[in-house]
């Protein structure tokens, strides 16, 4: 049963859609081959025309760029290659003039090892910054060999602890060696985080995307993690650091600042499958975060032990994931963030639709429809609106730049130098899952370098050669393009706000491995979102699936909605390859 309207909390951040920008690959304004903030400013009209309300800017602060800016050495200044604080102020102003907001990325689980805090912290055991990071003495095994304090694995391969010769202790780094974890138990660290937030909010930023924010409270016993992968000494310790003991206490403090500024917040939360625990962070009356990013649907193709091992999944798995969170958040006054892609994920047309090139556009439109008309705030990642795809299969490993992927590759070469099969398989998996897939420059035109940078410049990462066909210039004025279809979906969502933002959600034709369909209902208004996930034509029985009659065609991915209603008048409807259709139906 749909919930009475009076019980629903309305909020501006529920109604918005967000566009994510990863600055290095967006638009280069000065032909040095690296995207920059003036480049982003030059594209604000393009973003606005897509129907976006909020722009999320990935880290642009000073950084040695070991992990593309997620290793920050100064939170108060901007990396030279991207511009200046004044450029960010101009960007904020440019967004505001167009009625859009700007989010900054808040990366405070760790800093760069080049941050002043860490330099001081590692200088001596009695430095006042020692406690800002997590330092522990070594353990010794039976042979007397020095071992890290526990067996936790780093997200970027190997032990999560690094030995520091100078002071004779290990420090914790859940990510790269150059990304030491901050110690949130120490009050000055939390104060420093609050100061950073206020600084950017005072500059006019409208909120934050918070990097791995559920890792900031760790179990202070730092216990060994259970052994799941017997092939390695290093195990996932997430049980002891994901949603740790003091997380909500810390979130309450963040929430107070956010509320003061009426700011937007989305927290990145890997590993968490417990709906109740997520709810504690996002329930409306808790005043912690607005929403979080879930990981189950993007981990769907990972191997048992490792992301870069082959994994398989079924459409029903994906549907079950959405159904669970959609229903739970609706019933419990929480809220979802909806995304297929971001800078850590491959392109959705490859991962979810696995579509042949001839179906690229249809698959992209279908995925847009399924995602954005669910209950939640939709996030569009740069290039997704153009139907950009993964890197070409024939690309050499030298084209890959991501530390996650390259660390994996180098370890493989070291440990299995003559295992060509394992190397071949890893290479295939990189082309499917490496973060590089989402990081190639945005394809603005069919010019050399895709118009991302000057024709004679050398882009920091190669542009996908398919830019000659797939690019923004070809799409903005083509009514049938992926770009304009995304704009239609986002407009439709706003036009029928009650249904698509505030309505209830029910999965339809649950067990199908070919169709992803759901209904959204608000009081007596009901819509059906129906999509074909195959490259064949399907016959779909509307009656057995409980559809009582079609009032109006709201959207169709193949054609305009004019004169197509009779297609949906009988009992059985024919769906073309990857077709998406949205209908107003009898409640
Ligand atoms: C998040 C970011 C990712 C980064 C990691 C460490 O998962 O999205 O890009 O590498 O945190 O900061
Ligand atoms: Ca540049």
Range list for CATH 2.60.40.1180 in the chain: 503-585
Tokens, residue 572? 């059985």
The whole-number average pLDDT for the span 34-55 is: 98
Q: Using one digit for the tens of pLDDT, what is the confidence trace for 128-177?
A: 999 999 999 999 999 999 999 999 999 999 999 999 999 999 999 999 99
Percent over 90 (pLDDT), the chain: 97
Residues 300 and 317: beta-carbon distance below 8 Å: yes
Residues 73 and 490: beta-carbon distance below 8 Å: no
Q: Using one digit for the tens of pLDDT, what is the confidence trace for 253-270?
A: 999 999 999 999 999 999
- φ, ψ dihedrals at 62, nearest 5°: -55, 135
Percent over 70 (pLDDT), the chain: 99
Q: Is the dihedral of CA 131, 133, 134, 140 positive or negative?
A: negative
Tokens, residue 275? 């709906």
The rounded Å distance from CA 39 to ligand 2 centre is: 8
Right CATH number for 503-585 from 3.10.520.10, 1.10.10.10, 3.40.462.10, 2.60.40.1180?
Answer: 2.60.40.1180
Q: What's the pLDDT at 565?
A: 87
Strand, helix or coil for residue 555: strand
- Ligand 1, closest atom to CA 435? 9
Give yes or no for residue 403 CB within 6 A of ligand 1: no
Q: Whose CA is nearest to atom 12 of ligand 1?
A: 70
Is a pLDDT exceeding 60 seen at residue 82?
yes
**Helix ranges, 455-524 (H):** 472-476, 482-495, 497-500
Query: With left for phi above 0 and alpha for psi between -120 and 50, is residue 528 left, alpha or beta?
Result: beta
Q: Which architecture does CATH list for 19-111+187-395+438-483?
A: Alpha-Beta Barrel (3.20)
Question: Is pLDDT larger for residue 219 or for residue 305?
Answer: 219
Is a pLDDT exceeding 60 seen at residue 298?
yes
Tokens, residue 290? 């607005």
Is a pLDDT exceeding 60 seen at residue 6?
no
Range list for CATH 3.90.400.10 in the chain: 116-172
Residues 409 and 368: beta-carbon distance below 8 Å: no
User: CATH classification of 116-172 is 3.40.50.150, yes or no?
Assistant: no
Residue with tokens 């522990």: 136
Q: Using one digit for the tens of pLDDT, what is the confidence trace for 179-199?
A: 999 999 999 999 999 999 999
Name the average pLDDT for the chain: 97
Residues 557 and 482: beta-carbon distance below 8 Å: no
Give yes or no for residue 266 CB within 6 A of ligand 1: no
Is a pLDDT exceeding 60 seen at residue 5?
no
Q: What is the DSSP string of 341-383?
A: --TTS--HIIIII---GGGHHHHHHHHHHHHHTSSSEEEEETT
- Distance, in Å, from the CA atom of 266 to the CA atom of 288, rounded to the nearest integer, reads 10
Strand, helix or coil for residue 72: coil
Ligand 1 mutation pick, 212, 407, 435, max ligand atoms within 8 A of CB: 212
- Distance, in Å, from the CA atom of 180 to the CA atom of 177, rounded to the nearest integer, reads 7
Q: What's the pLDDT at 394?
A: 96
The rounded Å distance from CA 112 to ligand 1 centre is: 13
The whole-number average pLDDT for the span 461-482 is: 98
Q: What's the pLDDT at 8?
A: 76
Is a pLDDT exceeding 70 seen at residue 577?
yes
Is a pLDDT exceeding 80 seen at residue 563?
no
Range list for CATH 3.20.20.80 in the chain: 19-111+187-395+438-483
Q: What's the pLDDT at 344?
A: 98
Question: How many degrees, rounded to 5, is the angle at CA 318 between CA 314 and CA 319?
Answer: 110
Give yes or no for residue 67 CB within 6 A of ligand 1: yes
Residue 561: which pLDDT band, with cuts at 50, 70 and 90?
Answer: confident
Give yes or no for residue 496 CB within 6 A of ligand 1: no
Residue with tokens 């200088």: 123
Q: What's the pLDDT at 2?
A: 53
Residues 280 and 288: beta-carbon distance below 8 Å: yes
The rounded Å distance from CA 30 to ligand 2 centre is: 5
Q: What's the pLDDT at 3?
A: 59
Q: Where are the beta strands (DSSP E) in 27-123?
A: 54-57, 61-62, 74-78, 101-106
The whole-number average pLDDT for the span 346-353 is: 98
Q: Using one digit for the tens of pLDDT, what is the confidence trace for 505-525?
A: 999 999 999 999 999 999 999
Q: What's the pLDDT at 71?
A: 98
Q: What's the pLDDT at 4?
A: 61
Closest of 384, 464, 465, 398 to residue 430, by C-alpha: 398
Q: Using one digit for the tens of pLDDT, what is the confidence trace for 389-400?
A: 999 999 999 999
**Helix ranges, 133-231 (H):** 187-202
Q: What is the 3-state secondary structure (H, E, C) of 483-502?
A: HHHHHHHHHHHHHCHHHHCC
Tokens, residue 527? 């819509």
The whole-number average pLDDT for the span 293-318 is: 96
């Amino acid at each position: 049963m749909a919930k009475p309207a009076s019980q629903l909390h309305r909020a501006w951040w529920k109604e918005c859609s967000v566009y994510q920008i990863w600055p290095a690959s967006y638009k280069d304004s000065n032909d040095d081959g690296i995207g920059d903030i003036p480049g982003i400013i030059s594209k604000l009209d393009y973003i606005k025309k897509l129907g976006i309300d909020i722009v999320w800017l990935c880290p642009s602060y000073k950084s040695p760029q070991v992990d593309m800016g997620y290793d920050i050495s100064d939170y108060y200044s901007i990396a030279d290659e991207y511009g200046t604080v004044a450029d960010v102020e101009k960007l904020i102003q440019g967004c505001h003039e167009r009625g859009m907001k700007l989010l900054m990325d808040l990366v405070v689980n760790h800093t760069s090892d080049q941050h002043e805090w860490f330099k001081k912290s590692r200088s001596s055991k009695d430095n006042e910054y020692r406690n800002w990071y997590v330092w522990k003495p070594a353990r010794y095994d039976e042979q007397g060999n020095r071992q890290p304090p526990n067996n936790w694995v780093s997200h970027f391969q190997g032990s999560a602890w690094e030995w520091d010769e100078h002071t004779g202790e290990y420090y914790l780094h859940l990510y790269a060696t150059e990304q030491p974890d901050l110690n949130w138990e120490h009050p000055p660290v939390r104060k420093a985080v609050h100061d950073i937030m206020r600084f950017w909010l005072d500059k006019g930023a409208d909120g934050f995307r918070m990097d791995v924010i559920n890792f900031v409270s760790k179990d202070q016993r730092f216990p060994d993690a259970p052994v799941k992968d017997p092939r390695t000494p290093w195990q996932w310790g997430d049980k002891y650091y994901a949603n740790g003991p003091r997380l909500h206490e810390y979130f309450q403090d963040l929430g107070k600042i956010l509320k003061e500024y009426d700011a937007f917040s989305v927290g990145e939360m890997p590993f968490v499958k417990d709906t109740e625990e997520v709810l504690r962070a996002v329930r409306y009356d808790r005043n912690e975060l607005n929403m979080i990013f879930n990981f189950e649907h993007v981990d769907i193709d990972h191997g048992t032990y490792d992301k870069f091992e082959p994994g398989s999944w079924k459409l029903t798995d994906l549907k079950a994931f959405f159904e669970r969170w959609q229903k739970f958040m609706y019933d419990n006054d929480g809220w979802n963030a909806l995304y297929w892609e971001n800078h850590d994920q491959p392109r959705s047309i490859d991962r979810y639709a696995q579509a042949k090139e001839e179906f690229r556009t249809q698959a992209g439109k279908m995925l847009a429809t399924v995602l954005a008309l669910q209950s939640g705030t939709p996030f569009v990642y740069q290039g997704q609106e153009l139907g950009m795809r993964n890197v070409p299969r024939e690309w050499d490993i030298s084209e890959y730049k991501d530390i996650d992927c390259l660390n994996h590759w180098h370890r493989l070469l070291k440990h299995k130098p003559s295992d060509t099969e394992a190397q071949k398989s890893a290479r295939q998996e990189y082309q499917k899952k490496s973060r590089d897939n989402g990081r190639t420059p945005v394809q603005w035109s069919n010019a050399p370098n895709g118009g991302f940078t000057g024709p004679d410049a050398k882009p920091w990462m190669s542009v996908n050669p398919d830019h000659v066909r797939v690019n923004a210039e070809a799409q903005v004025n083509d009514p049938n393009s992926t770009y304009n279809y995304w704009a239609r979906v986002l407009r439709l969502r706003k036009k029928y706000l009650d249904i698509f933002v505030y309505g209830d959600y029910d999965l339809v034709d649950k067990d199908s491995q070919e169709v992803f369909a759901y209904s959204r209902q608000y009081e007596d208004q009901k819509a059906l979102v129906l999509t074909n996930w195959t490259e064949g034509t399907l016959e779909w029985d509307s009656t057995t699936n409980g559809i009582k009659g079609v009032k109006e065609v709201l959207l169709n991915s193949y054609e305009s909605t004019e004169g197509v209603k009779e297609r949906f008048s009988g009992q059985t409807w024919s769906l073309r390859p990857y077709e998406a259709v949205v209908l107003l139906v009898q409640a």
